[in-house]
Chains A and B, each alone.
Chain A
């Protein structure tokens, strides 16, 4: 895999795409771009459709290239195996399981603000199971601006998921490093990603009470965003780390909005982070991905933007842990998708994902 970073998203980006497209050694194009105003369907669709090489990717809050996170520009990577790109736009229709024995890794990018984002992931698992090693994340802007954010050969699309399956083995590391400080608390009312009541109380009130009880901090409308960044919810899985659900907004009725579904009737814990445990988790993720991987494997990482926001000044250490391998590229995502073939495919929050892909 050969990657290039385009500082501007105008003609340079288009020229880079066409350059890779004409490269006979390039059979697929992975695009990790920042949500610049230039990335609109009108601006890029024509170019995307003209490409003879299958293209896939997304717009993310930041992209990772050369050991740094960039809030602008785009990373374009030419890969040596031809991907099978599929767009999932409807959650109601089951995917046709059409597995090719050679396809072993699937890149999954989901519009983080899609109404059925979790269902897209569930559809993938229902169709393909652990036939693939999945790696990817939620695309979009952190400020909640809904826009077309997924690159496909047909253009830029939104409210969907794009899957690119490649015949390349990979190893995955998925870790978050968040730990329990309280729970379990019953989700007594929820609607998709909207947590209405917790233990029978308005979610915000109950959350504030838990934080008040378990920490030395007090949740107010002013402090909620900052506290929520450091105290997400965790959903239990047998024999696995909790699935983190990141609250990011409060509705007028006291509901909490999260990235990812919170099923009614289930239980959540309140987690807390520590820069050290999080950086250690990132390091473990890199180590897990690197274990058994070839030295020339392409390393791609997707780290949650909210981790970066939480770690703030310590994020450089996490980024360094994730980018230990040279030429690591990646993005800061809004939710992560990963599965190493040993469990259920999930849509994570606040998690660090590293993948080492052979022969890419």
Chain B
């Protein structure tokens, strides 16, 4: 089996949105309006737009993954935006062997409904926090902290 891996990681700019407790509805309304999308409903779901992938990372935390406006803007007092333009990189893993390669480092049951395409998982490689987006049955985007990029590339 073969796998194509972009061992040279690419920049992965992120804009993080956090909502305040008790303001969930107002937060999501404001964010949805600002980003022009219907936000993913379930933690771990992500959707794709022409500009970015939008991931619901936690009950009150979203990631805009992609280029776009990084300037924090108003969320009507219901939340905050934190630009994470430079701290992460992305590896692309494609092909029939991609699942097998990932299983060498992270314990995720890719057969589970929770891990189907359109879902993301937070996991750890040697306790490095990584986020893996399943783009297709055999396509994965692995997002890792920039300072670990070289180490992860060597490992992959």
- A, B co-complexed: no
Residues of chain A touching chain B, judged by Cβ–Cβ distance below 8 Å, are none
